[in-house]
Structure 1
Amino acid sequence: MSEGTAREQAIDRFVGSNGPYYRRAFKTIGERKGYVPSFNVAAFLLGPIWLSGRRIWSAFWPFLIADLLAVVIIAYALSGGDSVDLAARANQLEDLAARRQVEAQDASAQNAASNLAKSLSRSATALQQAAADARETAEQAQADTWLFTAMGVGLLAASRLLQGAFSNHLAERRFRAWRLEGDAAKGGFSLPSAAAAAVLLAVLVPTVLLSFADRTLFQAVPSDPTWNSRAAEWLDGLIAAISFAVRPAAIGLTAGISAVLGLMENALTATPWPVVMALILAVAWQLAGFRVFLLTFVAISYLALLGYWEKSMQTVALLGTAAFISIAIGIPLGVLCGYNKRVAAFIRPLLDFMQTMPAFVYLIPVIALFGIGKPSGIIATIIFGIPPVVRLTALGIANVPPSVREAAIAFGASRLFLLLKVDLPTAAPSIMAGVSQTILMCLSMVVIAALIGAKGLGEDVLHALQYAAQGQGLLAGLAILVCAIVLDRIVQGRGRPSH
């Protein structure tokens, strides 16, 4: 059997009864590079249902969302758009103005010269003007509903035209993947998948139409307020119990963090500033070269001339403590995750939680367990900053070429030698990228940590927010920015030859 005949038979098995059409379409697409004009009428008419039946899931969901969005816009426009709410507000203002007018007339009947009568009359006039303005705005919104209707129809038409124009290309790509997989059960048109997509649309589209036809239908989500209060009370009791149980350990941990932080802060603030500046510039030159040395000199000059030297050193001490602890924990944990897939599968959800949970939320249990102050700010910063170094270290270790390890083992390398002389050096670029990201993530927590008692530049930004001091806030924010840039350039420049 020739290759062409085998391909045609494979296409027939893949597409079912429409084999001749798809054989011609696939042949035309395969003979030319780039986009080949082709239009699938069935995909145009059925839309996501066709894509679901062909199991092209990567295109099914985007086009389904586009179709539903078009339906939402059309239903919104046909129901009156914003004019419904604006007309309701105009009616409320008209009713209120009428009542106020009656009150003003009653007050004028009693004493037309009284302050109450004059005040009620002015209020009635103002309400009438507001009602007239609201009515005019509602009428304008009603007149503009055609624009939303045109947008919805245009989006639906564009979505369907794109589906028709690209469906054969998507099906041809799916066919090639199907031939490589060799799974005959995944060929043909899947009626269950198409039926599931049709049911989904049959549920969602009427729901959208009903919600705009009666906007009070889904206005409130059914819920029981007592569930919220009971859950909050249970969490309060749980946090209180955990806080009482870990109080001795929390006291020891905060004492250790305070000792490290105090040592770093005293070393940076008590040492004469020319010495600290010279050391920072020397490190920048040695690790990253002349350009970063010049950038560091300009940044330090900015901090010194605007009076941010001491607070910037406090910030660097806070950052250094948090980053040191994060890196000291993160690199060994990342190495373990790189070697052990089970540990990685267990740690990954925790890292996702630490990165996605808003910082203001996990400040609450941190304060409950460790109180308010710099140690709590450092702990919150560690929680936020440790995931990058763990992830990138694990990625670097996992991507070490097996051939490199096999060569080292063939020459008798021990596990410790393999770790220290093969895996870590090979994964060093990824690990250093994780270290850099951790430092920047820690520095981004400076302002948030200032909310719970951490000092430094974040305190100036916080005061600027409280008193709407735009200039002072921008200057302090720029000071944090230059610290971040300098630290990132120095860490990323490690290993480059000095000039």
Structure 2
Amino acid sequence: MNAHDPVAVQSIEHAQAAEEGLVREFVLRNPDYYIDVFARIRRASGAVWPFNLAAALLGPVWAAARGITLLFWLIFFLETLAVVQIGVGAAGNLGAGEQARAERVTKQAQVRAEQAKAAEAAGADNAAGLKSSAAALEKAANTARMRADAAKAKAPVVIGSGIVTLLFARLIAGFLANRMLERRFARWRSNPTLQRGLNHPLALCALAFCIAAYGLSVYRFAAPTPAVWLTAAPSNREWQAALSSGLDSLMGAVSHLGEGFFGGITGAISLVLDVLAYGLTGMPWPVTMAIILALAWQLAGPRVAIFTAAALAYLAVLGFWEKSLETVALLGTSAIICLAIGIPLGIWCGRRPRVYAAVRPVLDFMQTMPAFVYLIPVIALFGIGKPPGVIATLIFGTPPVVRLTALGLQGVPPAIREAAQAYGATRWFLLTRVDLPLAMPSIMAGINQTILMCLSMVVIASLIGAKGLGEDVLNALQYAAVGQGLLAGFAILLCAMIIDRIVQGRTR
């Protein structure tokens, strides 16, 4: 483009005028300054850090007024540390703990010295021991006083470090403010609903919040004996006891009313477990091993078959064969049930966003709740043994396959689905021949994660009577048998790897 072309020059001037108008509309206050700063940032070939004096003076209040959340919290935490250092140093309580200890030990030394005098006057045999104890206590008190004096002498250093931290926080605010505001301006241009200008109510709230937080923090750390309401959260043990009693009664009532239903679920799971366990352990071990190797070769190839042979040899030679088959039965039952529930539910969620929005909080709860917590209601409703272990594993292992199946279906390109529909594809054909094949990598990742989740519950389920290799690991933990625990842990790992390699190999 010719720089002397009047049309080109007019076009450039028009673009600059439009840009300046947008900056004025965005910042509202002091627009000329920000027009120049934003232009410098955009024209620079490298990183430039123009200093914003208003941001350096006002700190987090300026960041809140401009809606820059990250800068607000960064400066707030640095300033909180700074004011606490300044307050602790100015209060002169740096050696308060050692001073209190010195006074306490001094009183003990005086009491011990009086006991020594009385024992010496009475001619008791322990007089020398009491004198020695009194001297040791006096020495400890002197040491505590020296430490307290040394801590008090550090007060100017602590105050100085607090001032340096405060200045550092304000310098960060000054140097980061313009670049962060320019990035926010770029986002505002594509999304005009973002805040622009100065938000004065939010700035006042930020100011009040900072004053309260700084004051309470300084009082908490600088006061010799801060108020109890500030150091300990309010609690009501009576409410806790009442809620616990109510939950106990509720679980008891549910268990009693649904005894037949829960018994039916336990029986069905026990039937599947018994069939798998009998099929794996009932046949001669060479036949079972040969079947597993043949499946590995056919479904995943020779490399996986060689790995499977080595893993099975490890299990057999070290005496983990029978318990490994029990673990595989438990793991297989859990995985089968997880996939039988998770894949259809994931398909439904993938095609119905409202259903996924309703199911997502439940999946979050199932994944974030600690695994040990699952065991409490499971034991109350289903008792102990392998079926409750399968149910606890089911709760923990189902969410990944649901999420990844839904994610895979949502990622199918709409153009492909529209083309299939244009050629007259039915809903079933669209699902089985278009959606599922294209979503299969994500679905297989969900299956992999479910298998690993079920594996991680093997040891935890052994706490409620689910036997297998998890029992060996649990015994090793109880008796500190490190070697036994490591060998059993490797056996669990190999079982899961065999299953995962065969399943993933079939997909490839």
Question: TM-score if structure 2 supplies the norm length?
Answer: 0.87
Q: Tell me the equivalent position of 1:452.
A: 464
Cα gap change, 1:159 to 1:258, in 2 (>3 Å): farther
Name 2:452's counterpart in structure 1. Answer: 440
1:128-161 CA-partner distances (Å, limit 9, x unpaired):
6665666666666666777766765555444433
State the shift of 1:443 in Å.
0.8
1:473 to 443, 466, 485: 485
Between the aligned partners of 1:83 and 1:243, the Cα distance in structure 2 is 58
The reply on whether 1:170 has 2:174 as its aligned counterpart is no
Instruction: Tell me the CA shift for residue 387 of structure 1.
Output: 0.9
Between Structure 1 and Structure 2, how many residues are aligned? 493
**1:224/1:495 CA distance change after superposition, 3 Å:** closer
- 2:49–2:179 CA contact under 8 A, matched in 1: no
- Kindly indicate whether the alpha-carbon contact (under 8 Å) linking 2:37 and 2:50 is maintained by their aligned counterparts in 1: yes
The alpha carbon displacement at 1:191 in A equals 1.4
Name 1:181's counterpart in structure 2: 191
Measure, in 2, the Cα distance between the counterparts of 1:326 and 1:428: 17
1:194 equivalent in alignment to 2:206? no
Query: Mind listing any 5+ residue stretches in structure 1 that lack a counterpart?
Result: none
Taking the aligned partners of 1:480 and 1:122, their CA distance within structure 2 comes to: 60
Q: Which amino acid is the alignment partner of residue 490 of structure 2?
A: L
* Aligned counterparts, 1:45-84, within 5 A: 45-72=57-84, 75=87, 83-84=95-96
Tell me whether 1:23 sits opposite 2:35 in the alignment.
yes
Find the residue that maps to 2:30 and give its secondary structure. helix
1:204 aligns with 2:213: yes
Equivalent residue, structure 2, for 1:494: 506
The residue correspondences of 1:32-51 to structure 2 (distance < 5 A) are 32-51=44-63
**Structure 2 CA distance for partners of 1:210 and 1:384, relative to 1, 3 Å:** same
Task: Decide which moves more: 423-432 or 206-215.
Answer: 206-215
CA contact (8 A) 2:343 2:401 kept: yes
CA change 1:134–1:50 in 2 (3 A) is same
Q: Which runs of 5+ in 2 are unaligned?
A: 1-12
Instruction: Identify the match of residue 311 of structure 1 among 323, 338, 363.
Output: 323
1:356-367 equivalences under 5 Å are: 356-367=368-379
Please report how far the alpha carbon of residue 200 of structure 1 lies from its aligned counterpart in structure 2 after TM superposition. 1.3
The answer as to 2:388 corresponding to 1:353 is no
What displacement does 1:377 show? 1.2
CA shift digits 1:42-80 (9 cap, x unpaired): 222222222211112344334433443444455566667
Change (3 A) 1:56 1:469: same
**After superposition, where does 1:330-479 map in structure 2 within 5 Å?**
330-479=342-491
Aligned residue in 2 for 1:228: 240
CA distance in 1, matches of 2:92, 2:297: 66
Task: Identify if the C-alpha distance between structure 1 residues 458 and 119 changes in structure 2 by more than 3 Å, giving closer, same or farther.
Answer: farther
Which residue of structure 1 lines up, in the alignment, with residue 341 of structure 2? Answer: 329
Q: 1:201 to 1:268 in 2, by over 3 A?
A: same
Q: For residue 194 of structure 1, give the secondary structure of its aligned residue in structure 2.
A: helix
Structure-2 change in CA distance of 1:29 and 1:469 (3 Å): same
1:172 partner amino acid: E
Pick which of 380-389 and 43-52 moved more: 43-52
**TM-fit CA distance, 1:81:** 8.3
Report SS of the residue matched to 1:493. helix
Is the Cα contact below 8 Å between 1:75 and 1:208 reproduced in 2?
A: no
- Mapping of 1:41-190 within 5 angstroms? 41-72=53-84, 75=87, 83-103=95-115, 105-107=117-119, 109-110=121-122, 112-113=124-125, 155-183=165-193, 186-190=195-199
Alpha carbons of structure 1 residues 425 and 86: separation in structure 2 relative to 1, 3 Å: farther
* Closer/same/farther in 2, CA of residues 402 and 230 from structure 1, 3 Å limit: same
Tell me the secondary structure at the aligned position of residue 17 of structure 1. coil
Structure 2 residue matching 1:51: 3-state secondary structure:
helix
Superposition pairs of residues 228-307 of structure 1, within 5 angstroms: 228-307=240-319
Mapped to 2, the partners of 1:206 and 1:462 lie a distance apart of: 50
Overall identity of the aligned pairs, in %: 52
SS of equivalent to 2:388: helix
AA partner of residue 173 (structure 1): R
Q: What CA deviation, in whole Å up to 9, does each residue of 1:316-354 have, x standing for no partner?
A: 211111111111111111111111122111111111111
In the aligned structure 2, how far is the partner of 1:399 from the partner of 1:488?
Answer: 24
CA contact (8 A) 2:219 2:226 kept: no
Between 484-493 and 329-338, the greater mean CA deviation after superposition = 484-493
Please name the residue that 1:216 is paired with: 226
Give the structure-1-normalised TM-score. Answer: 0.89
> Within 1, Cα distance between the matches of 2:155 and 2:450?
50
Return the alpha-carbon distance in structure 2 between the equivalents of residues 170 and 368 of structure 1: 54
Q: Distance in 2 between matches of 1:335 and 1:458?
A: 33
Give, in whole Å, the separation in 2 of the partners of 1:270 and 1:149.
76
